[in-house]
Amino acid sequence: MEGQELPCVLIDCIGGKHGVYEDHAEFLKERFCLITMKEYLENKSFLGKKIRAIYMWYHKPVINEELLQSLPNLKIVASSGAGVDHLDLNLLSSYGVKVSNTPLTVSTDTADLGMALMLASSRRLVEGHQMAISPDTEYFPANWLGAEVSGATLGIVGMGTIGYKVAERAKAFEMKILYHNRKQRNKEEEHAVGATYCKKIDDLLQQADFVMLAVKLTPQTHKLIGKRELQLMKPTAILINISRGLVVDQDALVEALQNKVIKAAALDVTYPEPLPRDHPLLKLKDVLITPHIGSATVKTRHLMKENMTESIQAGLAGLPIPNEVLL
């Protein structure tokens, strides 16, 4: 086999809709002996022992107990993106396998997307585009209006790296910024973005024109925004979700939108992804959905690949692992 000296790393496949990008594969092949799932399955007994790391690109290959049992020399799983809610961390730990993610590379792109969704939803950009290109349009009505972002109140739920970057951007739009977080940030950090801490999420929900969700998905944040929270929001408010679909009670959201309890929603994440094609969220006029593109830029994906490579190399050399995910 080509490159036998290089450590063997399992990937799902190269190219196509789900695979590692061709240009990324070139980079990886200079450092690793890449084995695709297809190759592995065709020669399990020989290749199983050689695989020392898994390069998990967008949740593939799927890791289950059967796979872990067949890879006795597996040391590390490098997972793309920030979220690790798709991994059974306990299971991996029980096999002595370390895990890494790429939390920081995604943060600026995700913050940018949060801003993009807030602006698009508020100014009715997608609707406007449809009007601009529709075969039936004869003129643009003068009384067709959106809501202003500049000077409005933004409530950020989850002020981690991504939430803070959103605050930095929103400040330039002269927005009033409220935030809710497990811990209050220090005074300098708050002052730098003009953010006011809301210990109670209710206070944030009642005042915000825009509610932006930037929390991690944990048992505590599961369905954090439900019927009660939606009813606390202003009827003119817009909910923006760049965290995980499960942070929002989707059924409650549908009801709230149908009854105009809130004005609109912009969701980069849903549960599941994609939504079933007959889901009511797909039919509501005031919902903007994007296909989980929070970190979807050429540059960021290159950075992710580089970070994952670093983590694998450190893991195999027994060195401290950058971006290690600890239980």
Partner 1 sequence: MMEGEELPGLLVNEVGGMHGILHDHVEFLKKHFCLITMKEFLESEKNLRKKVQAIYLWWHKPVIDKDLLQSLPNLKVIANSGVGMDHLDLKLIASFGVKMANAPRAVSSSTADTGMALLLASARRLVEGYHVAISPGMEYCEADFLGVEVTGATLGIIGMGSIGYKIALRAKAFEMKILYHNRTRRKEQEEQAVGAIYCEKLDDLLCQADFVMVVVSLTPQTHKLIGKREMELMKPTATLVNISRGAVVDQEALVIALRTGVIRAAALDVTYPEPLPRDHPLLKLKNVIITPHLGIKTDKATRMITEEAVENILAALTGLPMPSEVLPS
Total of chain residues touching partner 1, rule CB under 8 A:
64
Cα–Cα distance measured from residue 249 to residue 238, given in angstroms and rounded to the nearest whole number: 15
Nearest distance in Å: CB 181, partner 1: 20
Residue 244 annotated to the active site = yes
Q: Which helix (H) or strand (E) holds 129?
A: helix 125-133
Nearest distance in Å: CB 132, partner 1: 4
Q: Is 246 in the site for partner 1 (CB under 8 A)?
A: no
Q: Is 298 in the site for partner 1 (CB under 8 A)?
A: yes
Q: Is 168 in the site for partner 1 (CB under 8 A)?
A: yes
Q: Which helix (H) or strand (E) holds 108?
A: helix 107-122
> Of the residues 52, 124, 244, 301, which is catalytic?
244
The 8-class DSSP code of residue 324 comes to B
Cα–Cα distance measured from residue 286 to residue 238, given in angstroms and rounded to the nearest whole number: 9
Cα–Cα distance measured from residue 323 to residue 103, given in angstroms and rounded to the nearest whole number: 7
Q: Is 126 in the site for partner 1 (CB under 8 A)?
A: yes
The one-letter amino acid at 36? T
Nearest distance in Å: CB 244, partner 1: 13
Q: Is 145 in the site for partner 1 (CB under 8 A)?
A: yes
CA distances to 9, 22, 126, 245 from 291, rounded to whole Å, are 29, 22, 15, 11
- Cβ atoms 182, 218 nearer than 8 A: no
3-state secondary structure of 182: coil
Q: Is 174 in the site for partner 1 (CB under 8 A)?
A: yes
Residue 292 annotated to the active site = yes
Q: Is 179 in the site for partner 1 (CB under 8 A)?
A: no
Pairing state between β 33-36 and 238-241: unpaired
According to CB under 8 A, which one of 90, 143, 186, 220 is a site residue for partner 1?
A: 143
Of 115-123, 154-162, 198-206, 245-253, the window that binds partner 1 (rule: CB under 8 A) is 115-123
Query: Nearest-CA neighbor of 11 among 58, 68, 70, 73?
Result: 58
Cα–Cα distance measured from residue 301 to residue 295, given in angstroms and rounded to the nearest whole number: 7
Phi-psi sector, 273: left (phi>0), alpha (psi -120 to 50), beta: beta
β-sheet bridge partners, residue 100: 78, 324
Q: What angle do CA 165, 233, 111 make, to 5 degrees?
A: 15
Quick note: the x/- pattern for partner 1 over 267-296, rule CB under 8 A, is: ------xxx-x----x-----xxxxxx--x
Q: Which is nearer to partner 1, 135 or 219 (CB)?
A: 135
> Of the residues 124, 185, 292, 301, which is catalytic?
292
Q: Is 85 in the site for partner 1 (CB under 8 A)?
A: no
Nearest distance in Å: CB 187, partner 1: 21
Q: Is 87 in the site for partner 1 (CB under 8 A)?
A: no
Of 42-50, 67-75, 171-179, 222-230, the window that binds partner 1 (rule: CB under 8 A) is 171-179
Nearest distance in Å: CB 284, partner 1: 10
- What are the residues binding partner 1 (CB under 8 A)? 17-19, 57-58, 108-109, 111-113, 115-117, 119-120, 123-126, 128-129, 131-133, 135, 137-151, 168-174, 273-275, 277, 282, 288-293, 296-301
The residues that are catalytic are 244, 273, 292
